[in-house]
Structure formats: C-alpha cells, structure tokens
C-alpha cells in the first residue's frame, strides 16, 4: 500500500522481503553452519596465537641470535634502559663479584648516575664460540663506553668476555622456548671507574 495515496502498491514495485540466515535450511543444516563458523573462528584464533608466539621467538642461527642480543643490549644501554639491558641477564648470573640481583641493581644505579651513555661494539670484534651441544657459548668483543654523569665525563675501551647459556623462557606465560642469556661477564668493570 502506498501510504501517500492510500492505494495498493503493485507487486512488482514492492520491496522484497529479506530472508533470514538459514531460512529454507533444515535445522540440522543450520546447526552445521553454526558449528562450521565456530570452528573457523577458533582456527583463526589459534593461527593468530601461533603467529604472535613465533614473532617473539629468536630467529636465525645461534651466532645471529647472540649478535642480535648484543645489538639490542647496546641500543638499550644508549637509551639508559636498565630493564632492556637486564633482560639479557640470566637469573643464574654470577661473575664472582655480583650475582643476578646485584648486577641488575648496579646497572640501574649506573644509568641513574649517568645522564648520557654512548656504547659502541664494533661487529668485526665479536668472536663467538658455541659449544657443540648449542646450549652454552663464550663471546668476546671490544666495547667503547662514553658517559656523562654526576662524576663528570669519561670514556673507556675494554675487552669484554661473556659466558652465555640458553635459558628457558615462556612466551605469553604459557608457550616454552629458549633464549640466550648472560651467566657471567668479565672486562666490563672499567666502566665503574
């Protein structure tokens, strides 16, 4: 019916009725479509979680992973990001002078005392020795550190030796993996002077 003229509307000009999803299907077919849709959503979520976990896992060879760790540690130091540097310290850290909690505190205190930090690790000086089992490694490199802080400006060049191991980690608190972490370090003490 045309409400303006109060005359019936011809069938050809009437708007078509919208069909409901699943209309014309049997109840079993409708349930099947719903189950299929739920399975598709769950598969998409599972794939998304897998992609997110894989994005967190280290990539490349052990040597490439160690070099990336050094690079990211260098960048964190220049930002004076104590958590970023400490992220690479194992809970089993022990260099004969400091244990894990002590070295993390020292790192934070050193950044608080210095308003500017410049770190350089030339890639050509990095030498890695990975044990045959691939679970521990020794890394030696030359590092130059410049700083401006409460005790004035200073700089130091040093030969640093790190002992590393692959520590167990959990991505998103659930998915296990292993990442390189520092268990002891030598040669870095010159930056405390």
Which pLDDT tens digit goes with each residue over 167-190? 998 888 888 889 999 999 988 776
Q: Which domain holds residue 40?
A: 11-56
- Mean pLDDT, the chain, rounded, equals 84
Q: Does residue 5 lie within any of the structural domains? A: no
Residues 34 and 113 in one domain: no
Mean pLDDT for the stretch of residues 133-146: 91
> Burial code of 149-172, b = ≥16 C-beta within 10 A, e = fewer?
eeeeeeeeebebebbbbbbeeebe
Return d(Cα 160, Cα 140) in angstroms, integer.
6
Q: Does residue 48 lie within any of the structural domains? A: yes
Q: Does residue 78 lie within any of the structural domains? A: yes
Residues 66 and 96 in one domain: yes
Residues 140 and 84 in one domain: yes
Band (19; pLDDT cuts 50, 70, 90): low
Residue 133 has pLDDT above 70, yes or no: yes
Return d(Cα 119, Cα 158) in angstroms, integer.
11
């Amino acid at each position: 019916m045309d409400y303006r003229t109060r005359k019936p509307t011809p069938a050809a000009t009437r708007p078509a009725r919208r069909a409901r999803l699943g209309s014309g299907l049997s109840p079993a077919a409708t349930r099947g479509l719903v189950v299929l849709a739920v399975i598709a959503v769950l598969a998409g979520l599972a794939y998304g979680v897998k992609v997110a976990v894989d994005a967190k896992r280290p990539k490349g060879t052990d040597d490439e992973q160690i070099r990336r760790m050094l690079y990211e540690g260098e960048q964190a130091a220049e930002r004076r990001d104590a958590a970023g540097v400490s992220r690479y310290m194992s809970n089993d850290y022990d260099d004969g002078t400091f244990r894990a909690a002590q070295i993390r505190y020292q790192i934070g205190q050193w950044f608080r005392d210095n308003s500017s930090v410049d770190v350089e690790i030339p890639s050509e000086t990095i030498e890695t020795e990975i044990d045959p089992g691939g679970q521990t490694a020794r890394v030696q490199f030359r590092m130059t550190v410049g700083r401006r802080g409460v005790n004035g400006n200073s700089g130091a060049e040093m030969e640093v030796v790190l002992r590393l191991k692959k520590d167990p980690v959990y991505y998103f608190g659930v998915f296990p993996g292993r990442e390189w972490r520092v268990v002891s370090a030598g040669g870095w003490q010159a930056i405390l002077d």
